[in-house]
Amino acid sequence: MDLAFLGETLLRLASAIPTTLELAFVSVSIGLALALLLALLRASSVIGAACVRAYVFVFRGSPLLVQIFLIYYGLGQFDAVRESFLWPFLRRPWWCAILALALNTAAYGSEIIRGGLAAVPAGSIEAGRVAGMSRFTLYRRIVLPLALRQALPAYGSEIIIMVKSTSLASIITITELTGTARQIVSDSFRAIEVFVCAGLIYLAINFVLTRAVLLLERTLTPHARGVPR
């Protein structure tokens, strides 16, 4: 075991953690906003709902890597895109990765929101109605808290999946954690040690995130505390 090499590797890999986290954070934030928009659109009209269903179908049914390539390599095929004001963004791997990750997680997120809303027991809504709650109060006091409780664990897993998915950005040249590991391997030819170190870092990140989501769940839903699920 070459401790000096391991230490150096861990240091270099650690310097890439912010890039990974930033990719995840930015795309999850944009993706959540999009997911909420999609949920609204789904509720707005029949046509809106059909569009959302098609969107979800496409983004959940095809590989994320294909989506990344479609945006990164594919869009440049069109002159209109290359001449538009968006080109400075779309020619950059960073923004292409963000865009693909966000569009992808929005599809899953909107389904999680839908599941959360659908899981609110009809009886709870009825009980609110007979208590004379307005539609707004009903949503604020009954529906959303219950839906959030239901959706939070699933959304927590989605965040973890997104952290893992950021590794695909390395394929379009972004040197986040996995990309950096690849570089170190091509310098040192010591694949196993380096990738294991990178894996440990991902595990640590996801461990912390899991704990954070659990903590959030506990604070947001005190009524569920101690109840076996």
Q: Provide the binding-site residues for another protein, judged by CB under 8 A.
A: 57-58, 61-67, 69-70, 73-78, 160, 164-168, 170-171, 178, 181-182, 185, 189-192, 195-196, 198-199, 202-203, 206-207
- Nearer to another protein by Cβ, of 82 and 218: the residue is 82
- Nearer to another protein by Cβ, of 141 and 164: the residue is 164
145: buried, middle or exposed (CB in 10 Å: 19+, 13-18, 0-12)? middle
Q: How many CB atoms lie within 10 A of CB 198?
A: 24
- Nearer to another protein by Cβ, of 192 and 227: the residue is 192
Task: Kindly state the smallest distance separating residue 73's Cβ from another protein, in Å.
Answer: 4
Task: Kindly state the smallest distance separating residue 184's Cβ from another protein, in Å.
Answer: 11
Q: What angle do CA 94, 155, 16 make, to 5 degrees?
A: 35
Task: Kindly state the smallest distance separating residue 136's Cβ from another protein, in Å.
Answer: 36
201: buried, middle or exposed (CB in 10 Å: 19+, 13-18, 0-12)? middle
CA dihedral for 84, 62, 156, 211, sign (positive or negative): negative
- Nearer to another protein by Cβ, of 67 and 138: the residue is 67
Distance of alpha carbon 108 from alpha carbon 119, whole angstroms: 17
Task: Kindly state the smallest distance separating residue 204's Cβ from another protein, in Å.
Answer: 9
Task: Kindly state the smallest distance separating residue 228's Cβ from another protein, in Å.
Answer: 14
- Nearer to another protein by Cβ, of 144 and 209: the residue is 209
Task: Kindly state the smallest distance separating residue 199's Cβ from another protein, in Å.
Answer: 4
- Nearer to another protein by Cβ, of 32 and 168: the residue is 168
- By the 8 A CB rule, do 175 and 19 touch? yes
For the chain, the helix, strand and coil percentages under 3-state DSSP, each to the nearest 5: 85, 0, 15
Q: What angle do CA 114, 115, 117 make, to 5 degrees?
A: 65
How far is C-alpha 57 from the chain's CA centre? 17
